[in-house]
Structures are given as structure tokens and as C-alpha cells.
Amino acid sequence: MSKPDTKYKAGQDNVRFWGLDIHNPVFLISVIVIIIFLVGSVVAGDAAATFFGSLRKSITSNFDWFFLIGGNIFVLFCLFLIVSPLGKVRLGGKDARPDYSMLSWFAMLFAAGMGIGLMFWSVAEPVVYSAGVWGYAPLGVSENREMAFAVTIFHWGLHPWAIYAVVGLALAFATYNRGLPLTVRSAFHPIFGDAVWGWPGHIIDTLAVFATIFGLATSLGLGAQQANAGLNYLFGVANSTTIQTILITVITLVALCSVVAGLDKGVKRLSEFNIVLALLFMTAVIVLGPTLDIFKGFATNTVAYAKNIIPLSNWIGREDTGFLHDWTTFYWAWWIAWSPFVGMFIARVSKGRTVRQFVTCVLIVPTIVSILWMSAFGGAAIDQVINQAGSLENAIVVESSPTADDPQATKTVYNSELAKQVNDGYAKAMFTMFDGGFPLSGLLSFIGIVLVITFFVTSSDSGSLVIDSITAGGLIDAPVAQRVLWCLLEGAIAIVLLWSGGLTALQAASVATGLPFTLVLLVMCIAIFKGLNRDRKLY
């Protein structure tokens, strides 16, 4: 390990109070603002839903350029690190070795990074784009199957994982090579020096807490909606916000058990279970679905992604602004809101990896897995739409339907049941696909529900550990009571957002917290370069 940059120790200015290891003022500000948000949203009622809808639209419309520029910079920066001499720097020093096996490491970072999202969108998103359910034409070719996958993979490929890699690398280097506390402010020590232990650092850490907890709430809300849809399909359980609230409550309580158990006993074991079950689940879809088409699709979808990544990354002169704002800009804000959580979690388990190994594994390997996952589930879904409708163009047809009062009236005709169900609600898309011709559809749906729930628990417990560390001044073994507090607050925010506008409110929360944190990540890239460049001479 290099010489520490400071004598500051994790949690050295903390105050013990009611079993909590409070890092003033980050802990107090974060808790107070979150409680005010919860109470205000409940009191505002319907007005809160209107506010969240307007907030989301305003940010995605006015700052699309900022999110896309940031995302592009993060990808280019990560690719630079892989090929540059900086890649030989080892996290923890020249003699450091990994604490976890490659399988355990990958399982934890993948489960934390995308678990619930891939389950929720893997069927819905390709069908939306290919069948034109939303009426948006990505670059004018909504009927084009190849383009549908290019766009889907664009949202789940290099860009989100580059965001995670930037945060994870910055925190791992600060902690293991500089001996600084595992908290977001530490990443900025190469730029601000010991000033990060004052108000500049307090602001950075507080923004990280808000981004993390609202980004997590979005994923927890999506997970509850999908689990509810699966229970409705299998057992006839009512599909309602009340049931989703019960699900969030129960699963949050289950997550508490993992949180109390800690990283090695709780999160690690659950993540390994998730990754094994997810691989078996994907294999079953490939074997029981259109196997040859899925494997062909993996190759053609990868090529389509490579061909279209540059035009999709561009925000200038786009005619599909509705699609750009409602989908891509939201996704970028969501990933950035998630980045303190996923990045810090990855950093915590990545000691001993070289920078080149770290960035390659965090950036390239998950992207390949995401392409295969989307090709399997999305490919099976689009194949089913074509079988039901005869062609993608025929899946949804808008016909003239004039009346005496409205001679220009039209009606939408669905020639594909799957396309219709996706249009009615994304959460049930995967279960509808299984019901549309898959053998063992009931079993597959049950496994899908189990995966959603376990990914749900993994996100909640690992997120609690991360927020716990930030608000405790970088301590990684803060009191259990504090982990429990953050786990409960995550669940409470997800519930309040569901009741205050559903998916729109969840998305608005991610977009609002992702906006300021984009600037934080851009400055973080500079800090990484300065720190690694200083260490390069040791190798």
C-alpha cells in the first residue's frame, strides 16, 4: 500500500447515540430530509403524483444532453484505463491479493448492479421497441428487430457499467491504496486534499446518500410490481398498490436478516444463490424457447449494438425526442443514482484486483452477460409476437374508426396478445410470455418470482450496508441498529413513491437525484487519473 494521504480515520468524529454511530452532519441531514420527504409526500397525496410527473419531464427534457455527455465520457475513460499503463496498478498495493474468488466477486457485483432491472425489462423493452407499443420510433425504425435490440442493449451495456466502474474504482483506490475511509468523499482527496473532511465532503456524502436511497427505492418498487404480477398470474392475487406495499414490507423484513448477518454470511451467500439460479433460469429459457434464433440473435444483436452505439449516444438533431427523454435519459439518471450504492459495494469486495482486471471485469463481462440475457428473453418474446401476429409490423395496427362526433377517430388493434399485455403493464410481460407457449410455464414463472424476490433482498441489504458506511464516516462495521434503520427507510421510501404516482414517481426520484450526482462523477474521473498517475511509478 502507498503512504496514506491523511491521518484521518474512519468514523473518528462520530458520536454514539441510541446505538447509532452518527457521522455529523451527514447522518442527521440525510435522516431529517428523508423523513420530511416521506411525511410531505403522504400529506400532499394526489398533488405529489402531479409534482413527480412534472419533475421527471422537466429534468429529462432539459438535461438530456448533460446525461448523455456524461455517460459517453465514462465509457471512454474506462476504455482508456484498460489499455493505458495505469491499468497495472493493483488495488491494495503490489502484494495485495483478492479476498473473494472470481465467481463470488462477479456474483456480488452483478446481483447488486442489475438484478431486478433485467428481470423487469428483459421482455418488455425489446417488445416495446420492435412492435412500436409506445409509438416512438427509435431513429425511425421501430419495426426493425435488429434496432430494437441495439437500443435495449445500449441501455444495459457499456454505459451503465462504466458508471459503476468509475465510482467503484475511485473508492477502492482511495480505501486500499491511500488508507482512506470507505466513503464517497474519500475519492476526491487527490483534488481537494484534507478539505474533504469538512463541508465539501459532507455535501458529497449527503448527495451520495440521497442518490443511493432513491435509486434503490426505484428498483424496489419495480421489483414489487413484478412480483405482484407474477403472484397474480400464478395464484390470482390482486394486482394492486396495497399488495405491493405488503410485498415491500415483508421482503424488507427478510432483508434485515441478511443485513444483520453482514457481508460474508448474508450478502455473499445470497448473491451466489442469485447468480446460479439466474443462469439456470436463462438456460431454461434458451432450451425451451427458440434456441437457434436466440443464439443467432446473440451474434446479430452484438453487431447491431456495435453499429448503433455512436448514433444512440448522440443527442443532437434527434427526431425521436420522446423516446430519448422517456427512456435513455431516464436510464442514465437511474444508473447514476445507483452508482454510489453499486460502486461502493463493488469497491468493498474488489481488493487485490489490478485496475485493468477491475475495469475489464466490471465493464466488459457484465455487458456480454446482459447481451445474452436480453437475446434470450427478448428474442423469445419477439419470436412469440411474430408467431401471434404474422409479423412485427402487424402486431399493432392503428385503424380508422370515425364517429359522428369525431370523424378522425382511430382505434388500436392488437394482433399479438403479448404486445397487448406489454402495453397494459410492463410488470407482467415476462409471465405473459411464459403463458403464451412455453412448456413448464408455471414453473418458470415461479422461478421468476423467486429471482425477483431474492434480487430484491440483495439490493436492499447491500444498499443498507453502503448507506450505513457513508453515514458512519466510512466505517464498514457500524452498529447493526444503523443498518436496520437504513433498510427500513429504503422500504418506506419505495412504499411512499408507489402510493404517490407509481412508476412515474419512482422514475422521478431517480432522475432528480441522478442529475447533481452526474457532476460528482465527472470530477471523480479527474481524481482517479491523478491518483493512479501518482502510483504508476511504483510498478
Q: What are the phi and psi torsion angles at 156 (to 5°)?
A: -120, 10
Pick the most confident of 1-10, 64-73, 200-209, 244-253.
64-73
Q: Is residue 237 assigned to a domain?
A: yes
Compute the chain's Rg from CA coordinates. 23
CA angle 185-72-133, nearest 5°?
A: 115
300-334 tens-digit pLDDT: 999 999 999 999 999 998 878 888 888 899 889 88
Dihedral of alpha carbons 142, 145, 147, 152, sign: positive
User: Quick check: 109 and 345 in contact, CB under 8 A?
Assistant: yes
Q: Is residue 21 assigned to a domain?
A: yes
Burial class of residue 339 in the structure, from the number of CB atoms within 10 Å of its CB (0-12 exposed, 13-18 middle, 19+ buried)? buried
CA separation for the pair 207, 96 (Å, rounded): 31
Q: Is residue 394 assigned to a domain?
A: no
Q: Looking at the 3D structure of the chain, how many domains does it have?
A: 1
Which comes out higher in pLDDT, residue 186 or 414? Answer: 186
pLDDT for res 395: 81
Q: Is residue 9 assigned to a domain?
A: no
Q: Is residue 499 assigned to a domain?
A: yes
CA separation for the pair 539, 534 (Å, rounded): 11
pLDDT for res 71: 96
Q: Is residue 400 assigned to a domain?
A: no
Closest C-alpha among 439, 378, 461 to residue 111: 461
Closest C-alpha among 266, 277, 213 to residue 457: 266
Task: Say what percent of the chain tops pLDDT 70.
Answer: 87
User: Residue 17 pLDDT > 60, yes or no?
Assistant: no
User: Residue 490 pLDDT > 50, yes or no?
Assistant: yes
Q: Is residue 198 assigned to a domain?
A: yes
CA distances (Å), 323 to each of 14, 154, 320, 419, 420, in order?
46, 13, 5, 18, 19
User: Quick check: 448 and 230 in contact, CB under 8 A?
Assistant: yes
pLDDT for res 246: 92
| Joined grid coordinates for residue 155 | 441501455
Q: Is residue 422 assigned to a domain?
A: no
CA separation for the pair 342, 348 (Å, rounded): 10
**Bond prior to 98 in cis (omega within 30° of 0):** no
Structural domain that includes position 182:
14-387+427-538
pLDDT band at 115 (very low <50, low <70, confident <90, very high): low
Any bridge partners for residue 398, and if so which? 412
Specify the CATH number for the domain of residue 128.
1.20.1740
Tell me the longest C-alpha to C-alpha distance in the chain: 82
| Residue 377 neighbours by CB distance under 10 Å | 28
